[in-house]
Amino acid sequence: MSETTAAREELGERAAALDAADPLAAQRKLFVLDDGVYLDGNSLGALPVHVPARVQDVLTRQWGELRIRSWGESGWWTAPERIGDRIAPLVGAAAGQIVVSDSTSVNVFKALVAATRLAGEGRDEILVDATTFPTDGYIAASAARLTGHRIVPVDPAGVPGALGDRTAAVLLNQVDFLTGRLYDLPALTAAVHAAGAIAVWDLCHSAGALPVGLDEHGVDLAVGCTYKYLNGGPGSPAYLYVAERHQAAFDSPLPGWNSHADPFGMTPDYTPADGSARGRVGTPDIVSMLTLEAALDVWDGVSVDAVRAKSLALTDFFLECVEAYVPAGRVTSATPAVHAERGSQIALRCAGAESVMGRLIARGVVGDLRPPDVLRFGFTPLYVGFADVERAARVLAEVLEETRRD
């Protein structure tokens, strides 16, 4: 038996044992999956099995039969806050602080402009993660132009040294979208507060994958999407967290009738609603929102700590399998090996990445490509197993061998 064959047998046996002992293994059957390996849940989560029937009810009964009555009888009007309270435990927040509405981009704008207003006079700088997802940077730059602030791009690790008495707000990603690096939310939030500024966090690549602790760590404002690890569906509405201590002073740059204290009064003057409802703007996207609400059922009884433990085990095992199967030098990990610095994805730099990912997908291993050279693999612990991980690494090695021969 060759060394490679022995390694495959040993890793395959370990994968089977790990799957057999996995406390989250039963969650897998709650999702629509095929015979492939789906490692792109950090872009779009898989469909929960029960969601289509729930959406059918929204369409045929709630909309088709009840029509306008559903705003009250089906709970449409209260959905943004109700679903926000469903998300709250997943990001470490008490009820009444999260509203589901709009897109992540719109919520970044709302949060960042409101943060500059909360910071008060004399502070004219907004620090922005220099490696951020591009839209966050675009929105921050626009918010700065509108509010008369100056943008200061900074690597998250350099935030403490860049803070000063001119800093109004800091916009950071808890997990970097490209590399999967996890940043120290507690320490960075504390540093922002020590400088008298407002901390705004983007949770798109962390919510549903690891503990966040918004309340515990004193985060001021946060935003996130729901179509990745929360499995809410393509384009599902995002959410906005406003810490309770800031709600009375939260001044949204997008006041709309839905966030008015008396929305049906139709008065020309704007009076903001109390609580998280201040984060609403216009009429919510009910079909998409109720799809998300149904999808969140898969979290019933699930511990985020258990999800984090499995996430780290999956990514550790993937890196081990890649090291065992892939010839040295063919790929290098851009994701930190240290657990405290790793989210729930692995980014591998690879020559010819576009061709490699295309071949992987053709062979049933679905990740994604970030040009020019990053193969990105997301590990969603609710439905990814250790046998999936071993297979993905093995197929990657086979594809790299094919490309070497071509």
Q: Write the burial class of residue 183 (CB in 10 Å: 0-12 exposed, 13-18 middle, 19+ buried).
A: buried
Asked whether the CA dihedral 355, 361, 363, 366 is positive or negative, the reply is positive
Q: What angle do CA 197, 118, 142 make, to 5 degrees?
A: 85
pLDDT at residue 1 greater than cutoff 50: no
Q: What local confidence, expressed as pLDDT, does residue 2 receive?
A: 62
Between 3 and 317, residue with greater pLDDT: 317
Give the model confidence (pLDDT) of 349-388 as tens digits.
999 999 999 999 999 999 999 999 999 999 999 999 999 9
Beta bridge partners of 346: 377
Amino acid at 169: A
pLDDT at residue 222 greater than cutoff 70: yes
Mean pLDDT of 105-126: 97
The percentage of residues in the chain with a pLDDT greater than 70, rounded to a whole number, is: 99
Q: What local confidence, expressed as pLDDT, does residue 406 receive?
A: 65
Q: Which helix (H) or strand (E) holds 146?
A: helix 134-147
Q: What local confidence, expressed as pLDDT, does residue 287 receive?
A: 98
Backbone angles phi, psi at 313, to 5 degrees: -65, -40
Q: Write the burial class of residue 320 (CB in 10 Å: 0-12 exposed, 13-18 middle, 19+ buried).
A: middle
The encoded tokens of residue 288 equal 């998409």
Going across the sheet that includes 368-370, the strands are 331-333, 345-350, 374-378, 368-370
| Cα 25 from chain centre | 22
Distances (CA, A) of 25 to 15, 21, 231: 13, 8, 17
The percentage of residues in the chain with a pLDDT greater than 90, rounded to a whole number, is: 96
The residues carrying an active-site annotation are: 133, 202, 227-228, 376
State the chain's mean pLDDT as an integer: 97
d(CA 109, CA 115): 10
d(CA 317, CA 19): 12
Mean pLDDT of 68-96: 98
The encoded tokens of residue 160 equal 């403490």
Q: What local confidence, expressed as pLDDT, does residue 7 receive?
A: 82
Q: What local confidence, expressed as pLDDT, does residue 130 receive?
A: 95
| Coil vs helix vs strand at 332 | strand
| Coil vs helix vs strand at 388 | helix
Asked whether the CA dihedral 109, 114, 119, 120 is positive or negative, the reply is positive
Give the model confidence (pLDDT) of 172-221 as tens digits.
999 999 999 999 999 999 999 999 999 999 999 999 999 999 999 999 99
Antiparallel, parallel or unpaired: β 150-154 and 125-129: parallel
pLDDT at residue 4 greater than cutoff 90: no
Query: Beta-carbon neighbour count of residue 98 at 10 Å?
Result: 26
Antiparallel, parallel or unpaired: β 345-350 and 374-378: antiparallel
Across 12-131, where does the E strand assignment appear? Answer: 37-38, 98-100, 125-129
Q: What local confidence, expressed as pLDDT, does residue 241 receive?
A: 98
Q: What local confidence, expressed as pLDDT, does residue 275 receive?
A: 96
Q: How would residue 58 be classed by pLDDT, with cut points 50, 70 and 90?
A: very high
Residues with Cβ within 8 Å of 253's Cβ and at least 6 positions away in sequence, in order, are 109, 110, 113, 114, 143, 146
Q: What local confidence, expressed as pLDDT, does residue 106 receive?
A: 98
Mean pLDDT of 63-79: 98
pLDDT at residue 18 greater than cutoff 50: yes
Q: How would residue 8 be classed by pLDDT, with cut points 50, 70 and 90?
A: confident
Q: How would residue 3 be classed by pLDDT, with cut points 50, 70 and 90?
A: low
